[in-house]
Amino acid sequence: MKAVILISGNGSNLQSIIDHADKIDLQISAVISNRDNAFGLQRAQSANINTYFIDSKIFNSRDAFDNELISIIDKLDVELIILAGYMRILSPLFINHFSGKILNIHPSLLPKYPGLNTHQRAIDACDKEHGATVHFVTEKLDEGPIISQETVQVDTTDTEKSLAEKVLEREHILYPKVIHWYTQRRLKLKNEVTATLDGKKI
Ligand code: GRF
């Protein structure tokens, strides 16, 4: 199945998806970044994947930017859009255009800690467990139907950095697993609100 991956930064999840691509029946048609210095762009180029940088500065609205994104992705004719550390809010225009085809990975056990600084927030709350979530993207930020999660233990000695590293390690296993469910057409979004696997509500 053809997919496009959207990034803004380091791209360690992108790397893991590249490394798993053959095994999970995924063809990465392009990697698109809204930041020209995203290291993930170099990772994609090293894997001979087409890259695009879209500069938000030359668009005067979110819709104008997202229209450009839509036109690039439509031409690529992909069935799946994978957000992997894409740090820009997507417009309803974009989300509705690709409804049911957008996956995101978020570094917390949603619904806990949507938004930023999730690792520090888990430490501040003295949580015993923390983790990552893959979900379908719908109009509400970090609130689309949850598909799968990975949990890590929070140790009293953990810092934001050490916890982020532990969670990322799990993300690199979790995301390819969920993408494979999607490429096998086992995973669907029903009526905008329900994620199903093999026809059963998750
Ligand atoms: C990850 O923690 C992911 O959960 C979040 O952004 C981070 C991206 O890291 N959405 P990387 O760019 O894949 O290394």
Which tokens is 144 given?
């689309």
Distance 162 CA to ligand 1 centre (A): 14
pTM for this entry: 0.98
Of all residues in the chain, the percent with pLDDT exceeding 70 is 100
- Same fold flag, 1-98 and 106-202: yes
Of all residues in the chain, the percent with pLDDT exceeding 90 is 97
For domain 1-98, give its CATH number from 1.10.3720.10, 3.40.50.170, 3.30.565.10, 2.60.120.10.
3.40.50.170
Compute CA distances 75 → 24, 69, 79, 101, 200, whole Å.
Answer: 23, 10, 12, 16, 33
36 touches 55 (CB < 8 A): yes
The model's pLDDT over 138-192, given as tens digits with 9 standing for 90+, comes to 998 788 999 999 999 999 999 999 999 999 999 999 999 999 999 999 999 999 8
The per-residue pLDDT for 141 is 73
Ligand 1 atom nearest to 168, measured from its CA:
2
The CA angle 25-30-36, to the nearest 5 degrees, is 140
Residue among 6, 41, 134, 168 whose CB has most ligand 1 atoms within 8 A, to mutate: 168
Residue written as token pair 């820009």: 88
What are the b/e assignments for 120-143, b being 16+ CB within 10 Å?
ebbbeeebeebbbbbbbbbeeebe
Rounded to the nearest 5°, which phi and psi values hold at 122? Answer: -65, -40
Task: Report the chain's terminal Cα–Cα distance, integer Å.
Answer: 23
Ligand 1 atom nearest to 107, measured from its CA:
4
Domain boundaries, the chain: 1-98, 106-202
Q: Which residue's CA lies nearest to atom 9 of ligand 1?
A: 85
The model's pLDDT over 22-35, given as tens digits with 9 standing for 90+, comes to 999 999 999 999 99
The per-residue pLDDT for 82 is 98
The mean pLDDT of the chain is 97
The model's pLDDT over 124-137, given as tens digits with 9 standing for 90+, comes to 999 999 999 999 99
Find all residues with CB under 8 Å of 192, minimum gap 6, and list them.
99, 100, 138
The per-residue pLDDT for 192 is 87
CATH 3.30.1330.40 at 106-202, yes or no: no
The answer to whether the CB of 162 is under 6 A from ligand 1 is no
